[in-house]
Amino acid sequence: MRRATAWVAGGAFLGAAAVGAWLLAGNKLAPSEPPAPAALNLLLITCDTTRADFIGCYGNAAARTPNIDALAAQGARFSRCTACTPLTLPSHTTILTGVYPLVHGVRQNAADRLSPAFETLAETLNRAGFTTHAIVAAFVLQGRFGLNQGFDTYSDRLQPRDDNPAAAERRGDEVCDEAIARLRENAGKRFFLWAHFYDPHFPYESTRGAEASPREAYADEIAFMDAQIGRLIGELRRLGIAEKTLVVVVGDHGEGLGDHGESEHGYFVHDTDMHVPLILWCPGVAAAGKIIDAQVRTIDLAPTVLDYLGSPSGDGLQGTSLRPLIEGRLPDLGLAAYGESMTAHSLLGLSRLRFLQQDGWKYVHSSQPALFNLRDDPREQINLAESEPQRVERMRDHLRELLQSAPPSPAADADAPPLSDEDLQRLAGLGYAGGLGPGSQPDTNAREPFEPGGDEPAAHVETIESYVRAHHLTARREFGAAETLLLDVVRKLPRASEPLHELHLALRRLNRQDEMPTICRELLALRPEAMPARLLLGELLLRDGRDEDALAEFNLALKYDPRCAAAHLNAAAVHRRRGELEAARRHYEAAVELAPRDVGALHGLAQVCMQQERYAEAAALLRRALAINPNSASMRRELEEALRRQGP
């Protein structure tokens, strides 16, 4: 990581002893460690949506995972590895940077992009002389979202298929074929190859067809992925480079499969979502059959492999090298795992979910806190928060210090590119929202409020499931069925912006968008403070040329929430259209103060300044906007005009 180095190395995280040991350990190693084996390669295999308890070596006797099991039998297996988030892009970003999402700022799929301020594992190894190659199988890991940093080649093309033109993934056999080709090309070089398998992600495919239950089809997908991993390892052996290649197999997150009422993933932080496999294999390097029961995290992967590869790593890594555990020099590093899910909050207005896991205990920080003893209650059925108040307070304090001590994230320097209709359809087919409406973007500042706010997501699990099903229906263009589900969701969660805008899109596809004002008014009659409905109603009135009525709605929105940047922006647009430049300016200035990186607010205020002949101010605003969106030709022309009119 290029930034935040001084934070960890300088000890800004000092505080509670457990937290200090957790982060300040960084990538420091135990004394008298043996030297790193010379000239190892790295093969990183990430298994998307893979629950640990669906792998044979993790205790599932029915699993068909002989190849992963063999790697565990011949290498080191971590029985308690915890992911940091139940989403593909943020989790992989942490795996490849050794930094938590609250610092690297990638919190949601397709809504964020990794900032160049952070150094990836590929960049570090490329600088050390490795050839670096990646083959990814999912739309949400395409290079546009920043993980291509440092790779000589980054294969992320998704070939359209006749049965699914908006396909969002590649099959594991296709990934494996390309990975084998890369191994053959680079067998004589020092290489880092990342192969990403997406098969266990919904929608599942099974040779048993529609007769297979979701759990059976999911297990079939894992068995298929395991076979591809076996092919890769077989090629390493055939090429004679197995003994000098460190192989890491790790999951990015798990899957609900009906446990806790959750069919898929993304909204909760149960162990079904967060407990993932982690195996290190290299003949003669990782002791055969080594089982490590100590708590570790996916954030520890980067410092661990850099330690083994003998490559210097930056002080900014938040993870810790696990090499002392693998080599038996220490039985436990005393690590605590942090994790989060912001999806229910950013999309549905429900509580943020954060957790801290240590010594077999898991504390979940939400509007209804939970505490689980994972040793006695691995399925997280018994909430001990009320009976263990001192433990809750202690873990809560550790979590608070983590959040308050984190540096502001620079991720906003690299906003994700806009998504096309096909992109949104791809996301919908996977059950993901795609940032369709205002307010759907998550908070990216690490100093977000500690108190969660909003209802507990578990109290709305059925509504969340309806929302996820609506995405799948939308992907299949079954807009009528999607409308029914979305209408139920917005009535139960009227403060949620995303479902409301998705309902609007569904009705538009059904040529019934004129029904939306009535729906918004029904919601507002029940909840006058329901901001998304108020804003959408105003936008619809504005679209119909009813400026006065639209302005009344935006002013009402500001009465309920004077800090609503979207309401200020819309009110400014109405005033500007009516030639009321001073009123427009006041609202634009308020929007810029509340959302200083909103390009629309900066651009709108700049245009008002141009109309008022305040050219120096307009130029300064346009420069700020172009720093965020440098590809805007219209803003570049306006900047040239502002500078010309400003004069020398």
pLDDT of residue 476: 86
Mean residue pLDDT across the chain: 87
pLDDT digits (tens, 9 = 90+) for 86-121: 999 999 999 999 999 999 999 988 878 899 989 999
Buried-state track 304-338, b at ≥16 Cβ within 10 A, e below 16 = bbbbbbebebbebbbbbbbbbbbbeeeeebebbbb
Instruction: Say what percent of the chain tops pLDDT 70.
Output: 86
Give 274 or 627, the one with higher predicted confidence: 274
State which amino acid sits at residue 453: G
Show the tokens assigned to 446: 């690490």
pLDDT of residue 494: 86
How far is residue 31 from each of residues 25, 324, 327, 329, 455, measured CA to CA in Å? 13, 10, 13, 9, 48
Output the CA torsion sign for 221, 222, 223, 224. positive
pLDDT of residue 3: 36
Q: Is the pLDDT of residue 461 over 90?
A: yes
| φ, ψ (nearest 5 deg) of residue 409 | -80, 135
pLDDT of residue 7: 31
pLDDT of residue 453: 85
Q: Is the pLDDT of residue 169 over 50?
A: yes
Give 306 or 34, the one with higher predicted confidence: 306
Q: Model-level pTM greater than 0.75?
A: yes
Task: Quote the CA–CA distance of 430 and 474 in Å, as a whole number.
Answer: 10
pLDDT digits (tens, 9 = 90+) for 272-291: 999 999 999 999 898 899 99
Q: Is the pLDDT of residue 25 over 60?
A: no
- Give 425's pLDDT tier (boundaries 50, 70, 90): low
Task: Quote the CA–CA distance of 610 and 621 in Å, as a whole number.
Answer: 11
State which amino acid sits at residue 63: A
Instruction: Say what percent of the chain tops pLDDT 90.
Output: 71
pLDDT of residue 629: 85
pLDDT of residue 166: 44
Pairing of strands 353-358, 361-365: antiparallel
Q: Is the pLDDT of residue 411 over 70?
A: no
Beta strands in 167-259 (DSSP E): 191-197, 245-251
pLDDT of residue 433: 62
pLDDT digits (tens, 9 = 90+) for 544-590: 999 999 999 999 999 999 999 999 999 999 999 999 999 999 999 99
Q: Is the pLDDT of residue 26 over 70?
A: no
- Give 429's pLDDT tier (boundaries 50, 70, 90): low
Show the tokens assigned to 345: 């909050």
Average pLDDT over residues 286-309: 95
Average pLDDT over residues 242-257: 97
Continuous H helices in 112-171: 121-127
Peptide bond preceding 203 in cis form (omega within 30 of 0)? yes
How far is residue 233 from each of residues 127, 134, 163, measured CA to CA in Å? 26, 17, 32
State which amino acid sits at residue 335: L
- Give 17's pLDDT tier (boundaries 50, 70, 90): very low
pLDDT of residue 31: 41
> Which H helix or E strand runs over 481?
helix 479-492
Pairing of strands 370-373, 361-365: antiparallel
pLDDT of residue 424: 60
| Pair 338, 401: CB distance under 8 Å | no
pLDDT digits (tens, 9 = 90+) for 478-530: 999 999 999 999 999 988 888 998 898 899 899 998 999 999 998 898 888 88
Average pLDDT over residues 525-536: 88
